[in-house]
Structure 1
Amino acid sequence: MLPINIIGYRRIQNRVKSLIKGPLIRKVLVLVSGTVLAQGIQILASPLLTRLYNPTEFGYLSVYISILGMVSVVASLRYDTAITLPKDDKLAANLLVLSLIIAAMMSFLMGAGWYAVGDKLVGYLHAEGLKGYLWLMPLSLFGLGLYQTLSFWALRRKDYKALARTRISQSVGQLAIQTGVGFLQYGQIGLLLGDVFSRMGGGGGLAVQLWKKDLQLLKTVTWKKLAQTAYEYRGFPLIASSSAFINSAGLQIVPLMMVLMYGPEVSGWLLLSQRVIGAPMDLVGQSVGQVYIGEGSPYILEKPRSLMELFYSMAKKLFAWGVIPTAVLAVSAPWLFHFVFGGDWREAGTYVQVLAVTYLLKLVIVPLANTLTMLEKLKWQWFWDIGRFILVVSGLELAYQLRFSALQAVVVYSACLSIGYVSLFVLSAAALKRHVSRSENELSKALMPDPE
């Protein structure tokens, strides 16, 4: 007879295996594993890249990525986000082609715009190192629009393996070019070419799959149907684009302001801190947020108080998970960055030290902010996005006018973000409390006996 602890262990083992064998779990694991591996490759290669490129060159890359990030939300005017919605594959195919056409047009317009005012803009931003390389940005934008659009098509087709493969190949291809050009000592063009190849290569891989599997479906697309589809889904460019742009601007404006006020070197240090610390924490937050939505959604109507209990329970658990890594970063980040990435990058560790508490707040609060979406409080989220944007921009501008140092400006930035995240938690909790109160009042009225 087996000991009880072994029997219990085997029961748990069998339970885990049965969960992993579930079709939905397998698909999620495939997609998440591709993302994790791709980010892991980026992080592991960072010590090499920081010895091939200096902080100033990384700073120019951050300007490039920030500008691209701000315009990327309108690369396809958000029509791509509707691809998974229609039941009819032919209608979805029209959305696909429409998104690709718009992405090509936007890239052309961006190229024309850069030709006209690009040099003046980068001069204004004190990013003169990008002059001569602006022709790469329309290529990156088209590659980004292509990849985003075809990613939604792959999600519609439930081709998770293809998505996972492209994410890994994007990281590998990007790093191959960046390290190769870095060893040849051609400077920052290696970082920019890596970005272009990553975006174009990822979209190209999915385009091959589309050509092989859905060519006949694409032949059903006509100009008349494209016009009808554009009108039918007009809410996406009219409403979704503006909301997405505000959200993106709140994230991408900081590197641009830092370059403008303190130079590209400071922006390069911030970029490394985000790549090594911020991006992995964002991935954890996204995963936890998905679990929270999955666990909490059934409670919205039937057990609203259980949703509130889940909200505070997850907040406590996330804080407990994050407090020790935060303490380690707050104490030793400068030394760790100096040791791992080289002496030029010690200041990036100091920035991480300053931002450590902010990263913890983000880890705890952002996943739980899905409460606003679950309770359909989208306007609340929209106003918060605007408020965060105003707070961050005003804080950094005030720091600059008061002649604060770059490090002091990062302290102000950290404080502004922390205030923003705390306010987001308060908003989410208030929305949840209101929902619970309203639901319980309606239930009590329903149970109240009719007056005779």
Structure 2
Amino acid sequence: MRLRQKLRGGTFSAMILTGGAAGVAQLFVLATTPIATRLFDGEAFGTLGLFMAFSNILTIGVHFGLIDTILAAKDDDEAETLLLAVFLSIAVMSVPVGATMFALIALDLFGAGALPIWTAPATALQAACVAAVMAQQMAAIRRRTYRTLAGSHLALGLSRGGGQIGFGFLGLGSIGLVMSELGSRLVTALVLWHLSPPLPKLDRKALRRAASTALGWRRFMVFRTPATLLGVLKVSFPPLLIGAFFMVDQVGYFTLTTAVLFAPIGLLQKAIGDVFTGNYSAARRSDPREATRILWRTAAGLGGLGFLMAAALYWSGPELFSVVFGAPWRSSGEIASILAPAFWAMVLAAPLSPVLNVLRRPDLLMWFNAAAVVVFIFLYWATGFWRLDFKATVGGISTIILVSNLGLFGLVTLADRFIHERMD
């Protein structure tokens, strides 16, 4: 009993430490954003939005799902070897990723032609840094070194917000925003490197072992990579769609809106979602009916809270954004009003989605994301074929997000109801 209480106390402390650090970091970025919007224009934010969308997608080409094997490794030695394999993959694949981005810009595919050519090498470095951060965070979770994990959250948020303000005062425009994002990832990678144990000695034996261990996980990577890609595409497709058919400053208005809306959703996932997942998982092992009650109580609270926030955005979005971020950003508030129903659905569904992992059916989420991406592709075609205007396209994006997240909530509740076996 004492051991169980100690473990619960340690878990709670870890959640407070990591969740608190992530919350502080996100709040700092939110607090500095009204300053950044007065230092950068819509075109600069549009360049940042496209840069981040492409780099998030291409990051998968740097590690091919190998990062996720670190948590799944059978022992700590294998996990450390896989961490080394990730870094080797980063070193090898960063150049092809940069070349791919250069080709996308040169051929003007998916709106990439709006990006300056210097973003091609920046994308390669960004993808490498993001993959390095993700791998070291996975290793920290496996080692249960939660102070290291908390330090990475703080490093990312503080360096990102501080970098935007610093580069903004220097008047560097699009270059400043991109460099602040890239710099924050680089700083976070270096902080994790400093706080983490050293990697195995790099010699021929270590290289051969890393390569053979990674090949042993190739089946896992073959299935995991498409699932990861679909999840990233679902999030990254909207700015690419807007960039392909509209002006870069309109991408910027959309980028600011989604950054502001996703911040509270991220906080809710940390403050409510993590606690809900732990309580639901524990109840599912002993009393599935109690787990169902926890699910619906949490859903009711999230639905009510989301409705209040969405109503404020719907009725007062343009005015709120004009006051907080400056009059030029009223267009972002208009976008927020259009996205308000989608925002409510995301607040409801996102913190509850780990139920599918608890029930050992993450494949359902993969197929669901695949369906959402297919619908986004249809919207891409429809925007060009019917020449939809900007607001109609944003309305289409909002409808897809709304329906997909309501569908996700329905999928979660159905899985809870019809997967009856208790979890061991």
TM-score (norm 2): 0.91
Query: Following superposition of structure 1 onto structure 2, how do residues 23-34 of structure 1 map, counting pairs within 5 Å?
Result: 23-34=10-21
User: Is the aligned partner of 1:353 residue 2:337?
Assistant: yes
2:266 paired with 1:282: yes
Q: Which runs of no fewer than 5 residues in structure 2 stay unpaired?
A: none
1:401 to 375, 382, 385: 385
Q: CA deviation at 1:38?
A: 1.0
Matches within 5 A, 1:9-28: 22-28=9-15
Work out which of the residue numbers 291, 294, 303 in structure 2 matches 1:310.
Answer: 294
The 3 A distance-change label for structure 1 pair 219 and 167 is farther
Runs (5+) with no aligned partner, structure 1: 1-17, 440-452
| Among candidates 290, 311, 317, match of residue 333 of structure 1 | 317
> Which residue matches 2:224?
240
Instruction: Give the corresponding residue for 2:170.
Output: 184
Question: Which is worse superposed, 361-370 or 220-229?
Answer: 220-229
The 5 Å alignment of 1:358-437 reads 358-436=342-420
Letter in 1 for 2:32: A
Aligned pairs for 1:8-407 within 5 A: 22-86=9-73, 88-115=75-102, 117-122=103-108, 125=111, 127-210=113-196, 213-214=197-198, 222-300=206-284, 302-407=286-391
Q: CA deviation at 1:325?
A: 1.9
Q: Out of 217-226 and 305-314, give the one that drifted further.
A: 217-226
In 2, Cα distance between the equivalents of 1:367 and 1:337?
26
**Contact map agreement 1:74 1:245 (CA 8 A) in 2:** no
Matched AA of 2:11 = L
Name the CA shift for 1:155/1:20 in 2 (closer, same or farther; >3 Å): closer
Report deviation, 1:87.
5.2
Deviation at 1:192, TM superposition (A): 0.9
Q: Separation in 1 of the partners of 2:80 and 2:338?
A: 48
Partner-residue secondary structure (3-state), 2:306: helix
Is the Cα contact below 8 Å between 1:122 and 1:131 reproduced in 2?
no
How far 1:176 moved relative to its partner?
Answer: 3.3
Per the alignment, do residues 332 and 221 of structure 1 end up closer, same or farther by CA in structure 2, a change over 3 Å counting? Answer: farther
Amino acid aligned to 2:262? G
Native 8 Å contact 1:93 1:221 kept in 2: no
Paired residue for 1:449? none
- Distance (Å, rounded) in 2 between the aligned partners of 1:396 and 1:287: 35
2:334 maps to a residue whose letter is T
Range that drifts further, 169-178 or 193-202:
169-178
Q: Comparing 151-160 with 251-260, which one deviates more in the overlay?
A: 151-160
**Over residues 349-390 of structure 1, what are the superposed CA-to-partner deviations in whole Å (9 max), with x where a residue is unaligned?**
111111112111111122223232222233322221111111
- The amino acid that maps onto 2:143 is R
Return the letter of the residue paired with 2:41. N
Asked whether the 8 Å contact 2:84–2:199 carries over to 1, the reply is no
CA distance in 1, matches of 2:199, 2:245: 50
Percentage of matched positions with identical amino acids: 22
- How many pairs are equivalent? 418
CA displacement at 1:24 relative to structure 2: 1.8
CA contact (8 A) 1:80 1:149 kept: yes
**2:120 is paired with a residue of what secondary structure?**
coil
Question: Judging changes above 3 Å, is the alpha-carbon distance between structure 1 residues 389 and 25 closer, same or farther for their aligned structure 2 residues?
Answer: same
Once residues 419 and 240 of structure 2 are traced to their aligned partners in structure 1, the CA distance between those partners, rounded to angstroms, is: 39
Amino acid corresponding to residue 68 of structure 1 in structure 2: S
Distance 1:342 1:221 in 2: 58
Structure-2 change in CA distance of 1:242 and 1:430 (3 Å) = same
Residue 388 to residue 189, structure 1, CA distance change in 2 (3 Å):
same
Q: CA RMSD in A?
A: 2.5
TM-score when normalising by structure 1: 0.86
Q: What's the CA shift for 1:230?
A: 1.2
Mean Cα displacement is larger for which, 389-398 or 235-244?
389-398
Further displaced range: 406-415 or 372-381: 372-381
Shift of 1:220: 11
Q: Distance in 1 between matches of 2:8 and 2:230?
A: 41
Which has the higher Rg, Structure 1 or Structure 2? 1
User: Aligned partners of 1:253, 1:25: CA distance in 2, in Å?
Assistant: 36
Q: How far 1:129 sits from its partner (Å)?
A: 4.2
